[in-house]
Amino acid sequence: MDQARQPEAMDRCKAILADLVAFPTVSSASNLDIITYLSGALDAAGARFWTEPDATGQKANLVATIGPDRPGGVVLSGHTDVVPVEDQPWSSDPFALVERRGRLYGRGTCDMKGFVAACIAMAPRFAKAELRVPVHFAFTYDEEIGCFGAQALVASLAARGIEPAAAIVGEPTMMQPVDGHKGCYEYTTWVTGLEGHGSAPAKGVNAVEYAARLVMELVRLRSALRTRAPKDCPFDPPYSTINMGALTGGHAHNVIPGKARIDWEMRPVQASDADFVKAGLARLIDGELLPEMRAAFPEAQIETETVAEVAGLERRPRNAARDLVMALTGVNGAGLVPFGTEAGLFQSIGIPSVICGPGAIDQAHKPDEYLSLQQLAQCLQMLERLADRLAQGQIT
């Protein structure tokens, strides 16, 4: 029987998960306390580690290594932040782990503190295995709001010359290997016009009206993207998409609004689609909207802020990470998911990447989020088998 199936391994993992859930690491808050906890646990297992704060000093990434100081090895990647719980009808305290009927309830149990807890629980096993190639633990901040921590992390890995042979991102996939997802690009467009009295529209520049014209252009571009779908594209839907999340502006019925804001996103299946959308917007803004606005108000502006441009995970014929996880789990094949992850960022610096973690994405972000004990046991078993492989110097 694998060591990961033994009761003490599961008990240790559950205790760690209870500690992790108790940290209310909503993306708007600091994650420094959980990073201190994780680094302490990895230090106790004999790992070499370093932390890297963000610009505010209130958040940090953690990278730790067990095994020889040499290229290769495997990254186990997870994020420490969770989504908010406000206005959700939880049946128990979301930041206190509760076990009921074979399920572990709490915010972040499946997305994705369960995977992080499993990694920490298995760290002593990796340390005792006398690994011939290293295992790296990479825990990040702000995945839920734009993968900001992972963007900083991959740049740091590249700068430090750390060259893993594979990355396993433990987002919830029901322990099924996943080797592809679309990119997720998020933007906020600000429109600045000129306020005035509603009885004299010609004396103002109505920011909401110009924002509405931008939204309609995005709708037109969304339709055009359907015709650009690559042949035999495996995604569902098989084309890039655009979504308008919010259009806000104005104060009262009789006031010409001087400010408007559009929150929107696109999920490209190919980089050229993002360029297509940006070029279409630029033609409208520079060729039509801004000249009209500035004829009445020279200081008028339309500015787009890039919130995040998170690369998709491209499905490739050769993928050492996918093949490794298929061997570890015994699953013959890999799938696709509609949600974004940090895996594409690892792939962007040349690290073959795969997504495989415990739990169902259907449980993420919801009240009474849970992770089944069966899924957690399967994750521990995968990591146990990974320790055996790394001790033998095998990746693929």
DSSP 101-123: TTEEESTTIIIIIHHHHHHHHHH
Give the count of alpha carbons within 13 A of 128, CB side only: 7
Q: Are strands 241-249 and 259-267 parallel, antiparallel or unpaired?
A: antiparallel
- Cα distances from 379 to residues 201, 223, 260, 306, 357, in angstroms, run 62, 41, 47, 35, 7
Q: What are phi and psi of 360, to 5 degrees?
A: -110, 135
106, 51 contact by CB (below 8 A): no
Strand partners, 26: 82
Other Cβ atoms within 10 Å of 184 Cβ, number: 21
- Cα distances from 228 to residues 276, 282, 315, in angstroms, run 10, 19, 18
Orientation angle between helical segments 7-22 and 32-44, nearest 10 degrees = 150
Six token digits for residue 162 = 């750390």
Measured distance CA(342)–CA(358) in Å, rounded = 16
Residue closest to 182 by CA, chosen among 308, 357, 314, 307: 314
- Cα distances from 68 to residues 33, 75, 209, 310, in angstroms, run 28, 14, 61, 31
Measured distance CA(171)–CA(128) in Å, rounded = 26
Task: State yes or no: is 143 an active-site residue.
Answer: yes
Catalytic residue among 111, 142, 143, 384: 143
Catalytic residue among 2, 8, 69, 81: 81
- E-strand stretches of the chain: 48-53, 60-66, 74-79, 98-100, 103-105, 135-140, 166-169, 178-180, 184-192, 196-197, 241-249, 255-256, 259-267, 301-310, 335-336, 353-355, 370-372
Q: Quick check: helix, strand or coil at residue 342?
A: coil
Which of the residues are catalytic?
A: 81, 143
